[in-house]
Structures are given as structure tokens and as C-alpha cells.
Copies of this chain bind each other. A is one copy, B any other.
Amino acid sequence: MSVLVMKFGGTSVANIDRIRRAAKRVGLEVAKGHDVIVIVSAMAGKTNELVGWVNEISPLHDAREYDAVVSSGENVTAGLMALVLQEMEIPARSWQGWQVPLLTNSAHSAARIEEIPTDNITAKFAEGMRVAVVAGFQGLSPEGRITTLGRGGSDTTAVAFAAAFDAVRCDIYTDVDGVYTTDPRIASRARKLDRIAFEEMLELASLGAKVLQTRSVELAMRYNVRLRVLSSFEEPSDEAGTLVCAEEDIMESNVVSGIAYSRDEAKMTLVSVADRPGIAAAIFGPLAEAGVNVDMIIQNIAEEGRTDMTFSCPTDQVKRAEKALSDARAAGAINYHDLIADTDVAKVSAVGIGMRSQSGVAAKMFKTLSDEGINIKVIATSEIKISVLIDRKYMELAVQALHDAFGLDKAA
């Protein structure tokens, strides 16, 4: 019997009507012959209410109690979904995390999944149950306490179940209808992708395409779980959504699959740093300790024993970065003439698996920007991504121009 995992986010189960609508989709898959594991989030707004109470009591709360409180939202949805399915005469029952049990480590509020024993649910499928509804986002610690998996925990739960049960696919129902070549609010010709490789999805997710949590994509990649992202507000169809899958499952990779952007980047330059072995460590060590997420790093060619060092970080970490660096200078660990922060920049990236085998992508990107009169301030490249920092006012223009230049408005 083939197992399918379906995950419904908070907006997809926001009230009884929406739970009914989600259950109908589950019914369609049951009718196709699948045994279905449904992973549910809390009804939209419920988790925020619970988190609000905990924070009202204590901003520095015991994470174990936080987890016990906050996990209750998913438990409610799981029971309600099971009841709706039963009303549709589909044999179903709910499982809370501790009942599966979904075993995690003890890192409360950010627990990692360690094991999902399958015998309990498999036995029920064998007895004729067709749908196991599992409360997402939660697990059981070795100490027997409830844990939660942190941000995006329900997506991660779904992928972990798909891996444990060797599911044919893991469908993530959300309020967007798939992964786009870029943000449609910026480029009206943005197009939904039918398929995208795990690696590309990871680059797009971390760059701001907030469709799937990075962690769940990483997990799917590791266990080769075919992930489908689709909207619970569209008519069901086999073509719906975007399939996130292994590179081998994509016939003809696009050279560039998507254009990502990030508005909240700052460029910082340490002017005239005394150049010596170990200087990079002396600069970026204190930044890491201060919790600054450094992204791109550029070191210009040194002249006469001095060099300029440029890096980017989120704009809201600029003050922290400045303090860390001036403290390091005061302590004599580093030496520089000036520190210039440019908070009027944005990052634009082209992402695509095809870059690996195709040359000239960077050149095409630079020429496109040059043709639009956009000056590139910093360049960073990886195997499947090219990123540039530019003036923020040109960000939309750059995204549109690159989207057209790489032909993303046309189906592959």
C-alpha cells in the first residue's frame, strides 16, 4: 500500500469550514488508493494566542512549559480533522506527537527529530484505517516531556513522516500555489515553476522565498522525499503546485530557475586594514560572537601592507557589527582607518542548477545590469548562485531585467 503525506498549514485549517475543505482533498487521495498521513498545524491565530500568554507571563520562560502550552493548538486541529474525516465515512484517527511517538532530542522549542517508529500507525493501516492525522510541530523528549520543533516545525514533521514511511510524495498545502521564478509583486511576468531541484529551493528559501522552511527542504533532500508545494484554495489537479525534487527528476534543468532578492542587506567596508596572516579571523571572529550573520565577504588586493575588507549583513545588525569591530580595534586585535556602513543596498541573486554545466551566466547577468545602468557593488558566487549587491533603488528594475534576460517568463 502506498503512503501519501499531506500537510495543511494554519490558514488551510483556520476554521471548521476550511478543515472540511482540506478533508475533501484528503478524501480524493484516499479514493485514489493511498493510505494518507495528514500533518496539521494549529488553526491560524491559535499559536500566536498561546505564545502571547506565555510571553505575558515570562519573556524568559522555561522552554519545556512553553512547548507543553504551545503544542496544544495542533492537538485540537488533529482531533477535529479526524472527526471531519469520520463524518465523511473515512476511517481516521488522530495522533499527538507523544502517541506516535515522534522522538526528539531535549532541545525544547527547537528540538531535532531523532526517530519516528512506524509500527503503531502501520498496524492501524493494516486494520483498515485509511488516514492517520498527526499533530505537527511536536515530539517527545527522552525525559518524557513534550517538545516543539521550532519555526516551520510542521513542514519538517511532514517531511520526516514521508521519509519514515517511504511515502510516494509529501504534499505541503499552504496559501500560495507554488514556487515562482521570482516575486510576482515585483515582476508581473513571474511564472510558477512545475519542478525545482532541492538545491535551488534551498537557495531561494534562504534568500527570501518564504514558501518552505529551509530545514524541511534540507531534510527532504537528505532522504530524497518528493515535496509538492500547493495551495489549498485552488481546485485540485495533478498539475497543481510545484514539485521540489532531486536534480535527476528534472528532465532539462534551467540554467537559471529563479531570481531572488533581499531588501534588508547592508554593505560594510573596513577601510585600510593592516594586512597580515589571520586578519580575516581577527575581524570575523568578533562579528560571529556578536551574533552578526555575515553573508558576502570581499577582500580587495592588498597594497603596501594594507587592504579594504567589505562584507554584507542584515541592516538590523549594523549597530551590533559596528560595536563588535570598534571594541576589537580598541582591544588592539585589529587596525583600520575607517568603517563605512552603506545601508542603502539590496541583494539580487540568480539561482539555477544549470549553471554548473553552463558558462557565461555571470557575464550575462553583469551585462544585463550594466545595460540598465545599474552599478554592482559586491559580487559573490557559488556553484548554483550568483549574487550582487546594488543600490536599493534599482532592486525592482534589476529583478525584472534579469527575469526577462534569463527567459523565465517562458515555460522551459
Contact = CB atoms under 8 A, between A and B. Distances in A.
Interface of A: 16, 19-20, 50, 53-54, 56-58, 61-62, 64-66, 68-69, 72-73, 75-76, 78-80, 82-84, 86-87, 93-94, 96, 98-99, 144-146
Contacts of A20: 57
A86 B69 contact: no
A80 B96 contact: no
A73 B72 CA distance: 8
A98 B144 CA distance: 10
A84 B68 contact: no
Contacts of A73: 72
A64 B82 CA distance: 10
Given A72-B75, A98-B98, A65 B53 contact: no
Contact of A79 (B69, B78, B80, B94): B69
A65 B86 contact: yes
Nearest to A57: B83
A106 to B, nearest CB: 14
A99 B146 CA distance: 10
B16 A87 contact: no
A78 B83 contact: no
Where chain A touches its partner, the secondary structure class is: helix
B96 A83 contact: no
List the 4 closest pairs (A to B, CB-CB), nearest first: A69-B79, A68-B79, A72-B72, A65-B79
Nearest to A71: B75
A84 B69 contact: no
Contacts of A80: 53-54, 57, 65, 69
A75 B68 CA distance: 7
Contacts of A69: 75-76, 79-80, 83
Given A68-B94, A68-B96, A57 B84 contact: yes
B54 A144 contact: no
Given A62-B83, A62-B86, A68 B78 contact: yes
A61 B16 CA distance: 15
Contacts of A50: 76
A106 B76 CA distance: 20
A83 B98 contact: no
A67 to B, nearest CB: 8
6 contacts: A57-B83, A58-B87, A65-B79, A68-B75, A68-B96, A96-B146
Contacts of A98: 98
A144 B68 contact: no
A363 B53 CA distance: 59
Nearest to A49: B76
A215 to B, nearest CB: 25
- Residue with the highest number of chain B CB atoms closer than 10 Å, among A20, A61, A64, A83: A83
Given A53-B80, A65-B86, A65-B93, 7 more contacts: A16-B56, A61-B86, A65-B80, A65-B82, A68-B79, A69-B83, A75-B75
Contact of A58 (B58, B66, B83, B96): B83
A161 to B, nearest CB: 19
Nearest to A50: B76
Contacts of A66: 79, 83
Contact of A57 (B57, B68, B75, B87): B87
A76 B86 contact: no
Contact of A61 (B19, B83, B93): B83
Contacts of A64: 93
A65 B94 CA distance: 7
